[in-house]
Chain A
Amino acid sequence: MNWLDTIVQGVLLGGLYALFAAGLSLVFGIMRLVNLAHGDLIVLAAFLVLLLVTTLGLSPFVAAVIAMPVMFALGWVLQFGLLNRTLGNDILPPLLVTFGLSIVIQNALLEGFSADSRRISAGGLETASLQLGPISVGTMPLLTFLSAVAVIVGLNLLFYRTALGRAFRATSDDRETAGLMGIQPNRVFATATGLAMVVVTIAALYLGMRANFDPTMGPARLIYAFEAVIIGGLGSFWGTLAGGVIIGVAQTVGASINPEWQILAGHIAFLLVLLIWPRGLFPRAVD
């Protein structure tokens, strides 16, 4: 077994998990909303990209760019019309409503696309690889990882360098005082969820090109996303990337010892990190 190779594959796999998790991290960081339908929204976006690819004959990357504003709008309306009403001191309503939403999305997708598993064709990119020194890396995993890094860098810039990011942080700190600044918290939250859905579309693109997907696989993706967010520390984007990488590496190392251990190893790594750092690796100072 080549350890270097195993670790590199794990890091790259972590990029995919970080993409699953980044939107969740954004939404949780701003409004403390745990969206149990996040995985299903990724699958929904994957079907949207698939639909655009098959009906319009587009490249998946172009299809994803077209899907982004559609998903943004969906996220905006979902937050403004539904999820905002569930926010409050009680954490139960958002959990119940997004759990229900998860079931609705799964059933709607089953109705619309059947239970067959699908794949988005990337025209040969799936099997391409690059030789980087002693190791060979798949082009697709590399592209996934670079996209994840780009998303994390982008979210950090947005959050810490723009007026919208200031409004996100201020609203997250104190909704009422944010209102005194002229900020409309409900619109800020809707914009945040819209942006999260743009990230979800990127995650969906790679999910759909790298593996088969079907309408019911959302919750399984949600678990990896959750673990990555929690390992990283709630509200930290770089932490989310680190969390994804830790799960990815644990999985590839586990699998290289015994293929049946892949999934289990990821979950064990999650538990170990939490035992040592209960608040995650990079918890935000203010909570």
Chain B
Amino acid sequence: MALLETRKLTAFYRDFQALFGVDIRLEEGETLAIIGANGAGKTTLLRSLSGLITNQPGHILLDGRPIGAMPAPDVVAQGIAMVPEGRKLFPSLTVEENLQIGAYGRSGSGTWTLGTVYDLFPVLKERRNSPGTALSGGQQQMVAIGRALMSNPRVLLCDEISLGLAPVVIKDIYAAFPRIREAGASIIIVEQDIGQALKVADRVYCMMEGRITLSGMPGAISRDDIHAAYFGAHAR
């Protein structure tokens, strides 16, 4: 049984349908990358998984149990944490408080505490009393990741964590991922940066217009395949 799985997942914004029967599987310990052009539905997929969008119960299964209709606070308690697109730090909270609030809905204990998050991103300890929003973009992204880790999630969802960051900063942030995996989290990352996605992921899904158009191991899919899956066959 997969750790997390979607079955014919559909999602809507009022009348507008954004996902059309998406099937993905995340195995325990695995890192998945989801790539696709702007508007393909990647964020909608992560928002569905995290409970921000309500779906049919059976469309999303965690350990085989239906969680599709569960609201976000309950989903966190089930062990799914999200690093949202645009980081979404709380401006009224300091760096440390932003991290602490990540533990609000924690269900059990685990590796991640303030201390281990500061070990992972030492620069945050220096800035612990600054307002979260006073930090550089890369540091803010570290806070957003640390905040999600504080709930000791079984599944970590990351939406475009490299967006708007300099390449060296992106490298720093992705350098933390092996330790996040060792601590036992399975990961789904959404990335525009295909090179980065192929580097960290065990498997890749490509989305287009609300559908999965390609999936496979990074080594087994070619640039042409990705190009076609990204823009449709006619663009080749």
Contacts and interface: CB of A to CB of B under 8 A. Distances in A.
Contacts of B21: none
Contact of A286 (B77, B82, B92, B101): B92
Contacts of A117: none
Given A167-B104, A170-B92, A174-B90, A180 B76 contact: yes
Nearest to A284: B92
Contacts of A174: 88, 90
A182 B76 contact: yes
**What is the interface of chain A mostly: helix, strand, loop, or mixed?**
helix
| Listed residue (B77, B92, B93, B105) with the most chain A CB atoms within 10 angstroms of its CB | B92
B206 interface: no
Q: Which of B77, B91, B147 has the most CB of A within 10 A?
A: B91
B76 A181 contact: yes
Interface residues of B, number: 25
Given A177-B84, A177-B88, A180-B81, A167 B101 contact: yes
Q: Is the interface of B mostly helix, strand, loop or mixed?
A: loop
Contacts of B84: 177, 180
A166 to B, nearest CB: 5
Contacts of A126: none
A177 B90 CA distance: 8
B102 interface: yes
Interface string A162-188: 010011011011101111111110000
A182 B90 contact: no
B97 interface: yes
A172 B102 CA distance: 16
Contact of A182 (B92, B93, B105): B105
18 contacts: A163-B100, A169-B90, A169-B93, A170-B93, A170-B101, A172-B92, A173-B92, A176-B52, A177-B84, A179-B52, A180-B72, A180-B82, A181-B73, A182-B151, A183-B73, A183-B105, A184-B73, A286-B92
Interface of A: 163, 166-167, 169-170, 172-174, 176-184, 284, 286
Given A167-B104, A181-B105, A182-B76, 4 more contacts: A163-B104, A170-B101, A173-B93, A182-B106
